[in-house]
Amino acid sequence: MADAPLIASLLELIRRTSSELPADVQAKVASGAAVEEAGSNAAYAFQVVQDNITLACQKSSPLCQDTGSILVYVHTPVGYDQIAFHEAFVEAVKQATAKGFLRQNSVDSITGANSGNNVGPGTPDLHFHQWRKDHVEVVLMLKGGGCENVGATYTLPNPKLGGRDLAGVENAILDCVLQAQGQGCGPGILGVGIGGDRVSGMACAKTQFLRRLDDTNADPVLSDLEQRVVTKANQSGIGPMGFGGKTTLLGCKVGKLNRVPASFFVAISYMCWAFRRQGVDLRVDGSITRWIY
């Protein structure tokens, strides 16, 4: 096969993303575990989570059986063949499914038929951008359905949550945390997109997950909001897995887009603790030069 080196690199990206939690996420999990009371249900949940992180890495097996939506963000040099890349990625997904790195997760929405190889309308989901660099960057996220189900888009003003201002945004985010309880496999990480339309706002929310958890938002207003949300959510008592405890969120990342005057959306994507996201830089021949996270 012409793209065999590229397919091999992409298969390795899928394997590592599915089985190894990135270092920035592991650091947040460790800080959360450290503040829970010994002997509590929350401490137990963290212990199982940490044992699982170690085991999955050792066994090179999926951290979570729900290997989720396969979301791929690709930057390519001008003139690079994106169609060939797409085909190579689909082939890597088929191989990863056969090897058990990915669960059979592509289901016809009306008939319920499972394609058996993760390939179907909309799956995997690739997003291409060109850039003026001479290498390819691929970031992969595997986002489970449990956490995806508890995301939400709020429209402001909202009679219970407030108006079109920072307070309204903050209240909407906290309401989302409350509604999610333990259903999204917390402690969670939130990606929030303020503004845009219903598609671009949620896309903005999801791309916040590409940021490292230890970064600082360049916008001081959004940076304050991120910290305030985490502090308040962690006072809710929901705790890991909704067991009660001090760690409800591991992080919150907020972006904003311009909106039309008539609309004000707050799109919130909830990510579970099993935040599987990894990336590689590739030479145009398909070989890996760097792991990103």
Contact letters for other proteins, residues 224-243 (x by CB under 8 A): --------x--xxxxx-xxx
- Kindly state whether residue 45 participates in binding other proteins, applying the rule CB under 8 A: yes
- Kindly state whether residue 123 participates in binding other proteins, applying the rule CB under 8 A: no
46: closest CA among 292, 283, 273, 279?
273
- The region of 80-88, 93-101, 151-159, 284-292 touching other proteins under the rule CB under 8 A is 93-101
d(CA 263, CA 127): 25
- Kindly state whether residue 182 participates in binding other proteins, applying the rule CB under 8 A: yes
d(CA 99, CA 56): 15
Query: Residues touching other proteins: how many (CB under 8 A)?
Result: 61
Contact letters for other proteins, residues 153-172 (x by CB under 8 A): --------xx---xx--xx-
User: Residues 41, 123, 158, 227: which binds other proteins (CB under 8 A)?
Assistant: 41
- Kindly state whether residue 118 participates in binding other proteins, applying the rule CB under 8 A: no
Q: Which residue has the tokens 């985490």?
A: 230
- Kindly state whether residue 43 participates in binding other proteins, applying the rule CB under 8 A: no
Q: Which is nearer to other proteins, 39 or 220 (CB)?
A: 39
Contact letters for other proteins, residues 53-92 (x by CB under 8 A): --xx--x-xxxxxxx-------------------------
The residues of the shown chain that bind other proteins, judged by CB under 8 A, are: 39, 41, 44-45, 48-49, 51-52, 55-56, 59, 61-67, 98-100, 102-105, 107, 112-114, 116, 144-146, 149, 161-162, 166-167, 170-171, 174-175, 177-178, 181-183, 185, 232, 235-239, 241-244, 272-274
